[in-house]
């Protein structure tokens, strides 16, 4: 697999992958997810080894009971409560995606950790849903199909994963109920009771070849690419429309690493 060292190479790689999808692209198009370490799988935080999925009921209950006074746009359903939990860093069965390949690239290189290569995953969400037993489309979060993805609080099962009646992951289009989702062109996938990463689905014989693709980003090029993105108008204040985002961008803009990173057309020169 080729390792990308510049924005130009990355855009060419994205265009090549999207072109492979041909006429099979749905009106939803493809989604992108940037990860700072290319070895990380597509597993939501709640299902990772350092978390306990059997505490989901208690966490969801407590959040729903106590969050109302801080929410300006009230969630229409329990799925949207999960979106807000994800938004504020709680462990959930959700994974964040974006419709913008440059936004995904920013999240991949944000850490500037040169010790590991990063990655941008490209997902065909409609094909994921078809593979999961739904139609070849991506419904909104208020669709009844997602009821089986929600934890059944009243079920008698002691095993919390058995309180979730869906198994495979599914793509969902969230209602744009927060400024951050709008700014980041955010989309989401939600896992069912199967503690299996989306990239594992892509390795099965039944999966279409263009369900999921991956672009590796050179760790040594992260600083260079991050600076290129800021010069193109993509940085913290673009993606996080608040004072935290503005503060991070100004701090980054005047950091020594930013000053020392030279735009050379290739990997960063420090």
Question: How many angstroms separate the Cα of 236 from the Cα of each of 83, 114, 218?
Answer: 20, 20, 21
Q: Name the nearest CA neighbour of 137 among 21, 27, 249.
A: 27
pLDDT in tens, 112-121: 999 999 999 9
Q: Is residue 123 in a domain?
A: yes
Give the pLDDT band (50/70/90) at residue 270. Answer: very low
pLDDT mean over 73-101: 88
Strands 170-172 and 31-35 come out as: unpaired
Higher pLDDT, 160 or 61: 61
How many Cβ atoms are within 10 Å of 228's Cβ, its own excluded?
Answer: 22
Q: Is residue 71 in a domain?
A: yes
Q: Is residue 256 in a domain?
A: no
Q: Name the nearest CA neighbour of 178 among 64, 85, 246, 94.
A: 85
Q: What whole-number percentage of the chain has pLDDT above 90?
A: 43
Q: Where are the beta strands (DSSP E) in 66-157?
A: 94-98, 118-123
**Largest CA-CA distance found in the chain, in angstroms, rounded:** 61
How many Cβ atoms are within 10 Å of 15's Cβ, its own excluded?
Answer: 11
Strands 94-98 and 186-190 come out as: antiparallel
State yes or no: pLDDT of 267 exceeds 50.
no
What pLDDT score was predicted for residue 161?
67
Task: Provide the residue range defining the domain that includes 148.
Answer: 3-222
Q: Is residue 229 in a domain?
A: no
- Asked if residues 174 and 99 have their Cβ atoms less than 8 Å apart, the reply is no
Q: Is residue 230 in a domain?
A: no
What pLDDT score was predicted for residue 14?
93
pLDDT mean over 193-202: 88
pLDDT in tens, 239-263: 887 888 889 888 888 888 888 888 7
pLDDT mean over 204-219: 80
Q: What's the domain count of the chain? A: 1
Average per-residue pLDDT in the chain?
Answer: 85
Identify the DSSP state of 219: G
State yes or no: pLDDT of 88 exceeds 60.
yes
Residue 152, phi then psi, degrees to nearest 5: -80, 100
Q: Is residue 245 in a domain?
A: no
Q: Is residue 236 in a domain?
A: no
pLDDT mean over 211-233: 93
What pLDDT score was predicted for residue 106?
94
What pLDDT score was predicted for residue 33?
97
What pLDDT score was predicted for residue 190?
96
- Asked if residues 268 and 222 have their Cβ atoms less than 8 Å apart, the reply is yes
What pLDDT score was predicted for residue 18?
85
pLDDT in tens, 132-170: 889 889 999 889 999 999 987 766 666 666 788 899 999
Q: Is residue 262 in a domain?
A: no
Q: 55 Cβ partners below 8 Å, 6+ apart? A: none
State yes or no: pLDDT of 125 exceeds 70.
yes
What pLDDT score was predicted for residue 181?
72
pLDDT in tens, 34-53: 999 999 999 999 999 988 88
- Asked if residues 3 and 222 have their Cβ atoms less than 8 Å apart, the reply is no
What pLDDT score was predicted for residue 157?
63
What pLDDT score was predicted for residue 223?
94
What pLDDT score was predicted for residue 269?
41
**pTM (2 d.p.):** 0.87
């Amino acid at each position: 697999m080729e390792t990308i060292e510049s924005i130009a190479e990355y855009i060419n790689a994205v265009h090549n992958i999207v072109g492979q999808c041909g006429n099979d692209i749905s009106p939803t198009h493809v989604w992108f997810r940037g990860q700072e370490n290319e070895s990380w799988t597509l597993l939501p935080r709640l299902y990772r080894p350092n978390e306990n999925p059997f505490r989901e009921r208690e966490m969801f209950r407590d959040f729903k009971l106590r969050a109302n006074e801080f929410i300006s746009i009230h969630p229409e359903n329990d799925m949207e409560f999960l979106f807000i939990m994800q938004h504020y860093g709680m462990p959930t069965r959700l994974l964040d995606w974006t419709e913008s390949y440059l936004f995904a690239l920013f999240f991949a290189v944000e850490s500037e950790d040169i010790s590991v290569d990063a990655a941008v995953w490209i997902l065909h969400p409609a094909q994921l849903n078809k593979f999961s037993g739904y139609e070849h489309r991506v419904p909104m979060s208020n669709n009844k199909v997602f009821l089986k993805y929600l934890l059944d609080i009243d079920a008698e099962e002691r095993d919390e994963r058995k309180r979730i009646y869906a198994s495979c992951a599914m793509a969902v289009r969230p209602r744009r109920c927060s400024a951050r989702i709008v700014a980041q062109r955010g989309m989401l996938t939600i896992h069912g009771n199967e503690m299996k990463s989306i990239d594992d689905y892509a390795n099965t014989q039944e999966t279409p070849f263009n369900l999921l693709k991956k672009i590796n980003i050179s760790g040594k090029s992260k600083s260079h690419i991050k600076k290129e993105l800021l010069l193109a108008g993509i940085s913290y204040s673009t993606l996080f429309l608040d004072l935290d985002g503005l503060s991070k961008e100004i701090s980054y803009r005047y950091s020594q690493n930013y000053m020392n990173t030279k735009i050379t057309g290739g990997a960063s020169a420090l």
